[in-house]
Amino acid sequence: MEYRQLGASGLRVPVLSFGTGTFGGSGPLFGAWGNSDVDEARRLIDICVDAGVNLFDTADVYSDGASEQVLGQAIKGRRNQVLISTKTGLPTGDGPGDWGVSRGRLIRAVEDALRRLGTDHIDLLQLHAFDASTPAEELLATLDTLVTSGKVRYTGVSNYPDWALMKAQGIAERDARPRFVAHQVYYSLVGRAYEADLMPLGADQGVGALVWSPLGWGRLTGNIRRDAPIPEGSRLHQTAAFAPRVEDEHLYRVVDALDIVAAETGKTVPQIAINWLLQRPTVSSVIIGARNEEQLRQNLGAVGWSLTPDQIAALDAASDVLPPYPHTPYRQQEGFARLNPPLV
């Protein structure tokens, strides 16, 4: 397993990490992802650790905290062998103090997560969404307190607007607070919007990407193809309403290109889609998920080899979309492009 620095921090993370949204799954979204109990979770974690995957990602909203609870029980006795990443900020109830990242809500959320996880510290705490109602100064001061106390080691964000992340980094620099070192983002061959603003920001500010849904919400499993119905076992039947939208023709064009590379390499479509992500700038780790051992072992096969430059170029071309203004002229006009060459 390859390890990379998480952004501009001293924390080294594996290029593949494991998302535990399937642990204790319940409800229309998480129940469709999977429902691993403690014994199954322990087995999946055994396989991950044996392969060098030691970073496990969860969140307080995953099945109302059940994911954190199952993860905590499954790693009991080997806490020092693993890294725990969890997220908070989304609503966990209907009360006025049950959402956001105000000082009281954030401190309580961390204490609750520590209790569910059965640990005394969180290696990486990420804010699950941008809370426009909490001043950045209050948020960063609270995170500073949590880091100083030892309850949190590193901080990051998830699904953040570029301007809000940059503002927070500037205030952290000004006030000598810990800066965010990670951004958990949606990024895939059928969802490349991350590249327009957030990727350059990450490169400039030392914010490493932790990629969620690298298979485009299950669209790049190899089971969805042109002129064929969505297979009965696909979770898209139940979760499409929650998923980022993808035009059908764009998806089919990407899958066609993946099929060609699969024939050339002998690798599966998901393995190729994940390997492509590992070649992208700012990506520290790609979060893989699995409902069972077979899926996990398949996804672990995405590392230990590399796509050729020609294969990467073919996938880039098939998945390319013109970004919105103000990025459009930098792609379409030579004078603009000369001033701002792309990272990829």
Q: Could you give the CA distance from residue 12 to residue 124 in angstroms, rounded to a whole number? A: 12
State residue 78 phi and psi, 5-degree precision.
-140, 35
Q: What is the CA radius of gyration of the chain?
A: 20
Residue type, 197: D
Cβ-based neighbour number of residue 87 at 10 Å: 25
The residue from 62, 154, 160, 194 that is catalytic is: 62
Q: Could you give the CA distance from residue 143 to residue 89 in angstroms, rounded to a whole number? A: 13
Residue 324, preceding peptide bond in cis (omega within 30° of 0): no
- H/E stretch holding 334: helix 334-339
Nearest in space to 180 (alpha carbons), one of 147, 151, 149: 147
| 187 flagged as catalytic | no
Q: How many helices (H) and strands (E) does the chain have?
A: 14, 10
Phi-psi region of 185 (alpha: psi -120 to 50; beta: other; left: phi over 0): beta
Which residues belong to the active site? 62
